[in-house]
Amino acid sequence: MSRFRRLLGTWEGMAGFAILIILLLFGLLAPILSPGDPLRIAGRALLAPFSDPAFPLGTDRLGRDVLAGLLYGARTSLAVGLAAAFSAMVLGVCVGMAAGFSGGFVDEALMRVVDAFQIVPGFLLALAFVSTIGVSTPIVVLAIALGAWADPARLTRAQVLAIREQDYVASARVIGMHPAEIAFREILPNALPPVLALSATIVAGAIFTEAALSFLGLGNPNIATWGAMIAEGRGVLRSAAYLSVIPGAALAVTVLGVHLFSEGLGKALGDDGGRGA
């Protein structure tokens, strides 16, 4: 049975996968479902949901379509979350691999850098980075990745330290296999599964961080984001609570889907590890 089938064999994996696929389809089909600029003024301001067939979820204080913002916000959240998680995973795996495989001074030096990044909360680091460098989508992705790479690095190092003492690694050294070949062919494939299970958690954290930055006005102002939509509804929370509730609910469902997918992925990879042992 493949890992993917084992993932879908768990109710968490199936539910999380279904939620993420639906959100991904909404994001990809946003230009078809709601053509045009989602930030344009499309109708009368503060139309309540389901009061006008042209605006099923109503409009905000400026007359922008809430449904359009929700669809394009899904694209932004998933794109930023996946890009930041990928960047954090690549950096973390490279640093953890180098530290665990090299040992000695290199290990100590790299781990001190990891400790330095772990001391500072990821959101505060992202907040300071974006505030200093400037606001744009690549900067937001980089800022989130800088606050998230330390955990994958530490986990990868721990896996490498355990695996490099295995008999098959010692056998590879005896037959004269190059150290780089041992690292990437023998150690890395066996060290990755637990780290990959962590990636879903990083995606969820990245989505939350992007929404928080946008809520504070530090997201890209030229694209629709759920955080900015929630912030837009603060001023009329009592009279038009839907402006904050709808994107807030979408954010919660997205993070729930990522969390369930992470749980299912962890079980699938754990079963795979048990079979491998």
Nearest-angstrom CA–CA distance, 108 and 102: 10
Q: pLDDT tens-digit profile of 76-119?
A: 988 998 999 999 999 999 999 999 888 889 999 999 999 999 88
For the chain, the domain total comes to: 1
The token duo for 27 is 């994001």
Give the predicted TM-score (pTM) of the model: 0.84
∠ CA 165-166-171 to the nearest 5 degrees?
A: 105
CATH label of the domain that carries residue 263 = 1.10.3720.10
pLDDT of residue 272: 54
The one-character DSSP state at 2 is -
Among residues 229, 209, 77, 72, the alpha carbon closest in space to that of 130 is found at 209
Nearest-angstrom CA–CA distance, 229 and 252: 14
How many angstroms separate the Cα of 214 from the Cα of each of 10, 207, 246? Answer: 34, 11, 16
Range of the domain at 152: 3-276
Mean pLDDT of the chain: 87
The token duo for 245 is 């509730």
Nearest-angstrom CA–CA distance, 219 and 202: 19
Confidence of residue 49 (pLDDT cuts 50, 70, 90): very high
**CB-based contact 137:220 (threshold 8 Å):** yes
H helix or E strand, kind and range, residue 165? none
Q: Is the pLDDT of residue 142 over 60?
A: yes
Confidence of residue 275 (pLDDT cuts 50, 70, 90): very low
Phi and psi, residue 51, nearest 5°: -95, -15
Q: Where are the alpha helices (DSSP H) in 147-187?
A: 150-163, 167-174, 179-181
